[in-house]
Chains A and B, each alone.
Chain A
Amino acid sequence: MDERFRAAFDSVHAEPELKAAARAAVARRARRRQSPARPLRLALATAACAAVVVLGGGWLYLTPTAHISIDVNPSLELGVNRFDRVASVEGWNDDGTALAQTVDVKNLTYTDAVETILQSEPITALVAQDAVVEIGVIGDDDTRCARILAGVESCTESHRNTHCYQAATGEVEAAHDCGLSYGKYRAYLELAALDPTVTPEEVQGMTMREIRDRIAALSGGTATAESAAGAPAETPAPTPSVPYYGYGYGCEDGEENGYGHHGAGHHGDD
């Protein structure tokens, strides 16, 4: 029986076509392995993928999708990326540039950044002198800006004379064209409506308190007197002649003058 098996399997031979196909497959594979272009192509493809990931990720991280404008006299703007972290810090006057250099808020969440800035020595000193702090959230995504605004408000609840508002990006470009941060530009427009001789350059060096006091004085308000007495000032209602921007200035329900206002005196007055 062994012989029958042996004879039967001995009669089986590989067809020449099978051998030829195997040799051809081996040759193809050998060429692919030996091709010097292959590792180069692989390396290039890997490098391209890595570049896309790094550049794409970097672009996503570094591109601000909303801005937070903080104006006291130091005027600075924080660029907030889509991950709610501060991607850029820019001073819009000398004080603002100096402040931007002293506080390290890059890569912090915007709430931490705002708190850090409000608790910084220059700002606390100014607030102690009854300075007005205006914080604006600027961006094109209303829902996101509203969420950021709520976060900013929660940071400013315990701070006196702090006003919060929301605005659209298009409005900010005009402010930047004048060399002003948006908060100061908005105050400048109010002041310019009452005193057409005022210039953006003049406003750039004024504190928000000075601008507000001047607006109050020109419109017959009493902010200057209150400020001089050391009491928290009520922010005057914007005059109708000032071009108000679509999103309103308010950040608290029921604000008749359209301003969000976190001032100790203000809450006491309510």
Chain B
Amino acid sequence: MRSEEEVNRAVEQYADTVRRICLVHLKNYADTEDIFQTVFVKYLLHNAPFASSEHERAWIIRVTINACRDLLRSVFRRRTVSLEEVAELPAPAQEHREVLRAVQGLPTAYRDVVYLHYYEGYTAPEIAGILGKNVNTIYTRLTRARGLLREALGGEVDG
């Protein structure tokens, strides 16, 4: 088990990353709070050392994505979500809100690849490693997601 100090350092370092992944997948604050607790408690209990900070970051991303998927699959979560909660977005500016809504509007399978590629800067093989998918699948999803985003936002979406 890791020390609390170590976990607190990880909370400071990765809280924003976890928050962004939650934003991509989840639509209310309570679920985000659950995911935060799940991810960092798992980090507390994860004994294996990380080879590098990149390795640690990839581990946090993978655990967060899996936790979001588990939560979405959970029967307990199948409850009514208010319109206010759906509209809840922490991004202040209207243009940012538009981009985030476009990502949230993508099919679930495409959201992770878009976030990991366009924001975290991972390559398709790296994303395949994190998500445990075939590289070609990642390329396909990126291409289709790009098309959908172009439709939603207009203009060019760079590869």
Interface residues of A (CB under 8 A from B): 1-2, 4-9, 11-15, 17-19, 21-23, 25-27, 29-30, 33-34
**What are 29 A-B contacts defined by CB distance under 8 Å?**
A5-B99, A5-B114, A8-B95, A8-B96, A8-B100, A12-B90, A12-B100, A13-B15, A13-B16, A14-B15, A14-B16, A14-B19, A15-B19, A15-B90, A18-B36, A19-B12, A19-B36, A22-B15, A22-B40, A23-B7, A23-B8, A23-B11, A26-B11, A26-B43, A26-B44, A27-B4, A29-B41, A29-B44, A29-B45
Sample of 18 more A-B contacts, CB < 8 Å, known A5-B114, A6-B118, A33-B1: A1-B158, A5-B99, A7-B99, A8-B96, A9-B100, A11-B90, A11-B92, A11-B96, A12-B20, A12-B90, A17-B33, A18-B32, A19-B11, A19-B36, A22-B15, A22-B40, A26-B8, A26-B37
Contact (Cβ within 8 A) A1 B155: yes
Q: Does A22 contact B11, Cβ atoms closer than 8 Å? A: yes
Cα distance, A26 to B156, chains bound together (Å): 43
Q: Are A12's CB and B91's CB within 8 A? A: yes
When chains A and B are docked, how far (Å) is the Cα of A21 from the Cα of B97? 26
Q: State the CA gap A1–B156 with chains docked (Å).
A: 6
Q: Is B139 an interface residue (CB 8 A)?
A: no
**Bound CA span A105–B119, Å:** 80
User: Do A19 and B15 form a contact, CB below 8 Å, given A7-B96, A30-B4?
Assistant: yes
User: Of A13, A23, A33, which is in contact with the most chain B CB atoms at under 10 Å from its CB?
Assistant: A23
Report the minimal beta-carbon distance from B15 to chain A, rounded to whole angstroms. Answer: 4
- When distances are taken between beta carbons in the complex, the residues of chain A under 8 Å from B51 are none
State in angstroms the CA–CA spacing of A5 and B39 once bound together: 24
Q: Is the CB of A2 within 8 A of B92?
A: no
Any A CB within 8 A of the CB of B60: no
**In whole angstroms, how far apart are the Cα atoms of A25 and B7 in the complex?**
11
Q: Is the CB of B16 within 8 A of A25?
A: no
CB of A28 to closest CB in B, whole Å: 9
State whether A21 touches B37 (Cβ < 8 A). Answer: yes
Chain A residues whose CB sits within 8 angstroms of the CB of B92 once the complex forms = 11
Q: Is B86 an interface residue (CB 8 A)?
A: no
Interchain CB contact under 8 A, B95 and A4: yes
Q: Are B16 and A26 in contact (CB under 8 A)?
A: no
Cβ of A23: which chain B residues have Cβ within 8 Å of it?
A: 7-8, 11, 40
Q: How far is the CA of A18 from the CA of B28 in the complex (A)?
A: 13
Q: How far is the CB of B45 from chain A (nearest CB, A)?
A: 8
Say yes or no: is B109 at the interface (Cβ < 8 Å to chain A).
no
Residues B7 and A26 in contact, CB atoms below 8 Å apart: yes
Contacts of A9 in B (CB 8 A): 20, 100, 115, 119
Given contacts A5-B118, A12-B90, contact A18 B33 (CB under 8 A): yes
**Residues from chain B with Cβ under 8 Å of A30 in the complex:** 1, 4, 7, 44
Q: Does B23 contact A (CB under 8 A)?
A: yes
Bound-state Cα–Cα, A18 to B21, Å: 14
Query: Provided the pairs A6-B119, A11-B91, A13-B16 are in contact, do residues A26 and B4 lie with their beta carbons within 8 angstroms?
Result: yes
In the complex formed, the residue of A with least CB distance to B39 is: A22
Closest to B8 in A: A23
Q: Which residues of A contact B4 (CB under 8 A)?
A: 26-27, 30
- In Å, the complex CA distance between A29 and B1 comes to 10
Q: Can you list, as one digit per residue, whether each of B138-159 has a CB less than 8 Å from chain A (1) or not (0)?
A: 0000000000010001011110
Of residues A7, A13, A26, which shows the largest number of chain B Cβ atoms within 10 Å of its Cβ? A26
- A34–B157 CA distance with the chains assembled, in angstroms: 51
